Every structure is written in C-alpha cells, then in structure tokens.
C-alpha cells in the first residue's frame, strides 16, 4: 500500500520532437540541453518539487535511454522520496498484449495503475518541451476554488500568433465554453499551455471512455478535453503571466536560450535543478573577450564570445569568434573558427578557421538565412564553411 498523495503529476516526455532535426536524433526532446547546464525536462521536474508535488510519472517512448539515465533516481530534483518520487513509465507488455503509447491520453490510460496506487485527488498533466517556471500549487488552488473538473493553464498570446495554438474561449469567470484548435479567426488570445489539472475520478472515467472509442486519436487536446466539455463537465482556464516558451522548433529553442541573456525577459534560472557533471570552474584565458554570455563549469575560453551560451566543458581556441550561438556540452571550437547564429551539439568539433553560420545582416534575402545546427559528435574540418540555416548530420570535409 502506498501512502496517499493528493496530487500526482504525469509528464509527457515520449515525443520525438522531429522539428528539432539532428538535435533529437539520439535523444528525446525533453532531454535536449538548454540554458548552459540544463535539459528541458529540468524545468517541469523542478516546477513539480517547487510546487510540493512529490509523485511524478515520466512517460517515455522515443529514444528513452538518455532520459532514463538522466532522471535516474530523481535525487537532483529531490524526487527520490521514501514513499514517492519520480518514475519513468515506458510502454510495457501486459496480459492483453503490448502496445506503444498511441496518443497523449492513451499514454496516461496505460498507466492508470501507477496513478491509482497513490489514490490521488488530482492529476496534473505536463509536457516535457516547455521552458517556464510555474507554481502548480497555485493552479491547483484555483482549480479547487472553482470546484472545477478540469483546469487548463493559458497564456495570453498576440492575435497573429493565436492561430498556431489551441485557443480557449471562456466566460468572464474563466469557465471554458469552447475549444478552438488552431483557429483561422481566433475569438480570443488564451492559448493552452498544455498543462492540465484534473479530478482523478473524472479523468479516469473519461480515459476509459476515450479508449473504448475506436474513432478517437486518444489525444487530450483533440479528444478527451472536447469530450469532457460536451458532457457538461466544469472546465476552467487558469491565466499564467510568467515566461513560457514552447521549444519545439530550432528557432524557438534558439530564441528561448537567447532570452536568458536578455535583461528584459523575466526568466531566471534560480531553483531550477539539474544533474551536474563534476567539473572545475571555467577558465578565461588572457586573450579572451566575453560580453553578454553565459558560461558553465569546465569551459576553457580563449576566444571572443558575444551573446552566446557555453555548456559545460566547452573549449574555445584563441582567435575563435562565437556570436549569438549555443554550444552544447563538450564541444570544441578550434582556433580562428567562427560560429555565428548557430547551435553546436554535444561533443561536436569545429576545426581551425572553419566558419559555421552567418550574420543575418549579410543576407538581404531573409529566406537564405537561419540558425545553423551541427549534430552531435560531428567533425567539421579545418577551414570548412557551413552556410546559415544548414542542418548538418554528418562530418564535413573541406
């Protein structure tokens, strides 16, 4: 018998994140490095423990090795409690057969047993690909106050952007009367953040109903939420006004990283926990020039750095120039190389005098310019030139 937990969080971390291209070739999107020392999943995991949620199920499916290893026993996030903690939930084989997770709702459905053993009042559904800091306890308090069956966190987006999101139309008190998935003509700018609080007894019933519907895609946004609304359940929108960013594309991932360097953006990294490599402080050489950048432990910087983020253990040679770029753990930028508006993945090697990416102002035709991405562990030969917007997935010779 497990001691009761009032709230259980379920973190959807199984998506491939195909729009991140080479960055998610060998790892799931939530495991993508972010912000100089974190991985994306550190944000929801830290939010959970900072909100007092101690039972967290992480639903993994695509490339789970690194994610499972990274989460481990949950100790870095204090999620290694005696009676609860973090548990990685992969698809499994049962008497009825074995099934992959066929949709977000199906993934939760297949883990009803995991949730039931804590006998919770509420279940929070989270996704593993958003950068934000949020106190879920406040959202749950809102949910209780309105005696809702389901509460969905929303963020105010601009009218132009609204067509890219699931939009919730509400009465003045926040009660939802309509879902509008990616509307051509949005009626409001309340975009769903993919964060849901449910009364477990209600959600449990609807998950089973949805599972029995052969026409359903078993997706929360598409199937379960509309089903609940049409059945007359009380559903509320909870407005969140902090920093929030979906980092599902190369551009948004790059933007969110750059936001950390922007003093006008309200994203601070305090109380975000992560599993750390044990490395010494970083060393800044006598010829280095560093402005407006973020540098983690174990780096050796001998070149010029502007508006950039160096993850742990990055080496930057003399005369190298890094501008507006994100250099992931263990990458090496040799002497004289230029890395401009780029994302260089873990352990990649940029040879001497190579040029990766370019300045947007040098490309009057904006369609020719974009963030350049170099895949994991690749070698870019001495003197090689990689055009802006390129996504490199194999070694480059000259």
Partner 1 sequence: MGINLAGIIFANVGEENFPELTSNRTMASVPFGGKYRLVDFPLSNMSNSGINNVAIITRKNFHSLLDHVGSGVAWDLSKRRSGLTILSPYGGHSFGHRIEAIYHLHGYFEQLTEKYILLTTSNYVANVDYQKMYERHRKSGADITLMYKNMPVSKNAHDPLVFNVDENDVITQILINPQTEGECACSVGALIIKKDLLMDLVRNCMSKNTLDFRKHLLQDNLGNLKMMGYNFEGSISLIHSVDEYYTENMKLMDKAVRDEIFNPSYPIYTKVRDDAPSKYGLTSVVKGSLVAQGCKIDGEVENCIISKGVHIGKGAKVKNCIIMQDTIIHSGASINYAIIDKDVIVGENKSLSGTDSYPIYIAKQSNI
Half-sphere exposure of 295 (CA within 13 A, CB side): 24
Question: Considering only residues 26, 121, 135, 273, which one is a binding residue for partner 1 as defined by CB under 8 A?
Answer: 273
Task: Please list every residue from 303 through 362 that binds partner 1, using CB under 8 A.
Answer: 305, 309-311
Q: Does residue 370 bind partner 1 (CB under 8 A)?
A: no
The encoded tokens of residue 302 equal 């001998």
Q: Does residue 262 bind partner 1 (CB under 8 A)?
A: no
**Segment near partner 1 (CB under 8 A); pick from 15-23, 54-62, 180-188, 264-272:** 264-272
Question: Considering only residues 112, 227, 261, 387, which one is a binding residue for partner 1 as defined by CB under 8 A?
Answer: 261
Give the nearer residue to partner 1 in terms of CB position, either 288 or 390.
288
Whole-number minimum distance, CB 276 to partner 1, in Å?
Answer: 6
Distance CA 180, CA 166 (A): 6
**Phi, psi dihedrals of residue 383, rounded to the nearest 5°:** 75, 0
Question: 251 and 370 in contact (C-beta within 8 Å)?
Answer: yes
Whole-number minimum distance, CB 11 to partner 1, in Å?
Answer: 20
Beta bridge partners of 262: none
Strands 372-374 and 391-392: parallel
Q: Does residue 266 bind partner 1 (CB under 8 A)?
A: no
Q: What is the three-state SS of 206-252? A: HHHHHHCCCCCCCCHHHHHHHHHHHCCCCEEEEECCCCEEECCCHHH
Q: Does residue 283 bind partner 1 (CB under 8 A)?
A: yes
Q: Does residue 269 bind partner 1 (CB under 8 A)?
A: yes
Task: Please list every residue from 41 through 100 that binds partner 1, using CB under 8 A.
Answer: 75-76
Whole-number minimum distance, CB 282 to partner 1, in Å?
Answer: 6
The encoded tokens of residue 362 equal 């040098």
Tell me the number of residues near partner 1 by CB under 8 A.
Answer: 39
Instruction: Name the residue among 119, 47, 121, 40 with its Cα closest to residue 79.
Output: 47
Binding site for partner 1 (CB under 8 A): 35-37, 75-76, 261, 268-274, 276, 278-297, 300, 305, 309-311
């Amino acid at each position: 018998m497990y001691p009761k937990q009032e709230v259980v969080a379920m973190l959807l971390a199984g998506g491939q994140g195909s729009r991140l291209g080479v960055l998610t070739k060998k790892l799931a999107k939530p495991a993508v490095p972010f912000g100089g020392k974190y991985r994306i999943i550190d944000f929801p995991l830290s939010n959970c423990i900072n909100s007092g949620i101690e039972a967290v199920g992480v639903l993994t499916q695509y490339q789970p090795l690194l994610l499972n290893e990274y989460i481990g026993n949950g100790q870095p996030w204090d999620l290694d409690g005696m009676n609860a903690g973090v548990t990685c939930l992969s698809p499994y084989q049962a008497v009825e057969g074995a099934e992959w997770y066929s949709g977000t709702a199906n993934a939760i459905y297949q883990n009803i047993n995991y949730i039931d053993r804590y006998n919770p009042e509420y279940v929070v559904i989270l996704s593993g690909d958003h950068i934000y800091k949020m106190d879920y306890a406040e959202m749950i308090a809102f949910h209780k106050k309105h005696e809702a069956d389901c509460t969905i966190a929303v963020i105010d987006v601009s009218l132009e952007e609204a067509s890219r999101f699931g939009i919730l139309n509400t009465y003045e008190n926040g009660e939802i009367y309509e879902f509008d998935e990616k509307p051509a003509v949005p009626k409001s700018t309340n975009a769903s953040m993919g964060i849901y609080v449910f009364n477990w007894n209600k959600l449990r019933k609807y998950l089973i109903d949805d599972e029995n519907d052969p026409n359903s895609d078993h997706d929360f946004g598409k199937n379960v939420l509309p089903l609940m609304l049409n059945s007359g359940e009380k559903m509320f929108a909870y407005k969140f006004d902090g920093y929030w960013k979906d980092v599902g594309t190369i551009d948004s991932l790059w933007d969110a990283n750059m936001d950390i360097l922007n003093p006008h953006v309200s994203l601070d990294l305090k109380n975000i926990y992560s599993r750390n490599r044990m490395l010494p402080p970083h060393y800044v050489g006598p010829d280095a020039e560093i402005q407006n950048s973020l540098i983690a432990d174990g780096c050796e910087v001998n070149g010029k750095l502007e508006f950039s983020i160096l993850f742990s253990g990055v080496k930057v040679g003399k005369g190298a120039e890094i501008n507006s770029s994100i250099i992931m753990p263990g990458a090496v930028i040799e002497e004289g190389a230029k890395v401009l508006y780029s994302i260089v993945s873990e352990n990649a090697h940029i040879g001497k005098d190579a040029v990766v990416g370019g300045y947007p102002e040098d490309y009057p035709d904006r369609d020719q310019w974009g963030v350049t991405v170099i895949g994991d562990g690749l070698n870019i030969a001495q003197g090689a030139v990689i055009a802006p917007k390129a996504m490199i997935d194999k070694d480059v010779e000259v």
